[in-house]
Every structure is written in C-alpha cells, then in structure tokens.
C-alpha cells in the first residue's frame, strides 16, 4: 500500500541552542556562539512532530554561528551519525579507532558509527557560518566496533545523475544498516526514476536547494517527503541547480512511529 507524508520547510522543529546558561557545557563558542537546528523529526528540545522514518531518528539542518561554535566533546553509543557539510568548515574530533581530527568542507561528508561507544566534538573554527545536514540512524546491531569514514562529493563532476554516497554501491561509504543515501544535483526539466531495493523500503527526499516534483507533490527549498510502499519514485526537477538528498531505508516496524501515524492521519 502506498504511503507518504510531506513536510514543508517551515513545519520542521526549530531550536536555538545557546553557548551560555544551561546549554553552555554542550555548546561551544561563548560569548557569540549559538547553534540553530531545524529538525524533520522529533529530537531533543523538539517533540512536536513525526518520531522518525524507519530506523532514522534525526534529520537535522544545523548552522553553527560564530567563531569557535559547535558541540563540545560528548559521548554516543549505537547511533550511526552521517553529516553532510554544505557551507563553511567543520572541524571534527573523533575518538573512533585511534582517534582523528578531521576538517570537512562543502561537499565533504562522514559516517560515524558510535557502536560500543565513542566521543566526538564538532566545531566551526573559522569566522564563516558552518551549515550541515545531520542524519542519525539506528544500527543493525548494538555495540558494533566504533568506526569513522569520510568522503567527498564533487558536484562539478557528478551532475544530472543520482549518486549514491552511503550504502552498498561501488565507492559509497559503508553503513551497518539497510540504508542508501544519495545526492542529486540537476538542471531543470530532467526526469529521474528512483527504484528502492523493494516496495517495503521507504524513500525520504529532502530538497537542499531548488525545486522538484515527486509524483503529484511539488517540493521547494528545504521541503521534504517520505514515500513507502511503492515500486518507484518519479521526480521531475523544476529549477536549475536543484540539489536533493535521497535516503532509502528499510521500514522497520517501530511501535512509536506507528502509534504516531495512527494519531496523525494524513501526515
């Protein structure tokens, strides 16, 4: 059975997280630093919407404002955290393996699988704002060995085709979950058919820039849609330099999400 929801840019949860007061140990960069977060799904201070999609629990657009802003060193377990840097520079200090300090720029992305436990700190140490998309996914197994991998998406060379960045395709970063994350940068007027592995997989499409029509739904900048129970998803790009993320995922039978869907028909 075909199911879908549409989430407009302005319907996402909004959080402004300060580097002073009660969140000062969490957020770096006092006095001028603060983080803004737009959440597609419930997360932390935002609990007013959809709990997730399949094993995805966080899909957030974050901006680190002010030199030195970011998250201080903090622990994670189990979650697989993917980050796509859109603008600025992200300095990522991570304890997975022997630990590393990574600096990511536009087009760079990482997959941090926290598994049995890892810590990280994420900072913007230049004067430019740092914009990124964060996706948190539940793993196939608990307490996996922690891993950190990273790569670069070169948008100049890979235009007008759906490019898998994370998943099981050649060259994609591996992930311990039945999930494939792709990016498409396209000119207007082009049509794409995305075929998930099976109709029981769901597809979450998020428009970073531009405009696209998915089935009957017109999506603009920062709009998104989740679709599941279909053989294919047909999209027509309707603006030049459109940039979209496509997250294909197994739809696990999550009680919390099913309950929410029952209470919010049509969403």
Partner 1 sequence: MTDAAFKRLMCLGCGFSYDEALGLPEHGLAPGTRWDDIPETWVCPDCGTPKNQFEMVVIGYAQGGPALAGAA
| Residues at the interface with partner 1 (CB under 8 A) | 42-44, 47, 51, 57, 74-79, 114-117, 136, 138-145, 254-256
Q: Least distance from C-beta 156 to partner 1, angstroms?
A: 36
Q: Least distance from C-beta 185 to partner 1, angstroms?
A: 31
Of 100 and 142, which has the nearer Cβ to partner 1? Answer: 142
Which residues fall within 8 angstroms of residue 184, CB to CB, at 6 or more apart? 161, 162, 163, 192, 237, 242, 243, 244, 246
Of 129 and 140, which has the nearer Cβ to partner 1? Answer: 140
DSSP H/E element including 256: helix 255-263
Of 47 and 87, which has the nearer Cβ to partner 1? Answer: 47
C-beta of residue 68 within 8 angstroms of C-beta of residue 88? no
Q: Is the dihedral of CA 237, 200, 81, 36 positive or negative?
A: positive
Q: Least distance from C-beta 72 to partner 1, angstroms?
A: 12
In DSSP terms, which residues pair with 2 in a beta bridge?
A: none
Q: Least distance from C-beta 140 to partner 1, angstroms?
A: 7
Q: Least distance from C-beta 13 to partner 1, angstroms?
A: 13
- My answer on whether omega of the bond before 114 falls inside 30° of 0, hence cis, is no
Of 75 and 99, which has the nearer Cβ to partner 1? Answer: 75
Of 11 and 140, which has the nearer Cβ to partner 1? Answer: 140
Q: Report angle CA 228, 5, 245 to the nearest 5 degrees.
A: 75
Sheet containing 191-194: order of strands: 191-194, 233-237, 212-214, 217-219
Q: How far is CA 122 from the centre of its chain?
A: 16
DSSP H/E element including 46: none
Of 31 and 75, which has the nearer Cβ to partner 1? Answer: 75
Q: Least distance from C-beta 3 to partner 1, angstroms?
A: 21
Q: Least distance from C-beta 257 to partner 1, angstroms?
A: 9
Q: How far apart are CA 206 and CA 96, in angstroms?
A: 29
> CB neighbours (10 Å) of residue 204?
24
Of 50 and 57, which has the nearer Cβ to partner 1? Answer: 57
Of 16 and 221, which has the nearer Cβ to partner 1? Answer: 16
C-beta of residue 90 within 8 angstroms of C-beta of residue 120? no
Question: What is the three-class DSSP state of 226?
Answer: strand
Q: Which two tokens stand for residue 135?
A: 């996706």
Q: Least distance from C-beta 178 to partner 1, angstroms?
A: 13
Q: Which two tokens stand for residue 11?
A: 């319907």
């Amino acid at each position: 059975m075909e199911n879908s929801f549409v989430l407009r840019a302005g319907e996402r949860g909004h959080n402004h997280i300060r580097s002073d007061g009660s969140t000062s140990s969490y957020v770096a960069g006092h006095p001028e630093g603060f983080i803004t977060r737009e959440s597609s799904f419930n997360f932390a201070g935002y609990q007013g919407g959809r709990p997730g999609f399949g094993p995805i629990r966080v899909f957030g657009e974050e901006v680190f404002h002010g030199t030195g802003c970011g998250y201080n060193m903090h622990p994670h377990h189990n979650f697989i955290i993917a980050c796509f840097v859109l603008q600025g520079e992200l300095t990522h200090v991570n304890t997975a393996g022997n630990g590393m300090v990574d600096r990511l720029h536009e087009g760079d992305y990482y997959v941090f699988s926290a598994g049995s436990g890892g810590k990280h700190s994420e900072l913007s140490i230049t004067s430019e704002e740092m914009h990124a998309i964060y996706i948190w996914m539940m793993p196939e197994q608990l307490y996996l060995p922690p891993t950190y991998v990273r790569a670069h998406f070169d948008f100049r060379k890979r235009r007008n085709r759906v490019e898998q960045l994370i998943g099981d395709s050649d060259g994609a970063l591996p992930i311990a979950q039945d999930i494939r994350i792709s990016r498409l940068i396209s000119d207007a007027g082009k049509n794409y058919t995305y075929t998930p592995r099976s109709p029981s997989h769901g597809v979450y499409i998020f428009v970073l820039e531009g405009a696209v029509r998915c089935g009957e739904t017109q999506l603009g900048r920062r709009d998104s849609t989740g679709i599941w129970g279909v053989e294919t998803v047909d999209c027509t790009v309707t603006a030049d330099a459109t940039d979209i993320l496509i997250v294909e995922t197994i739809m696990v039978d999550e009680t919390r999400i099913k309950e929410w869907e029952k209470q919010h028909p049509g969403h």
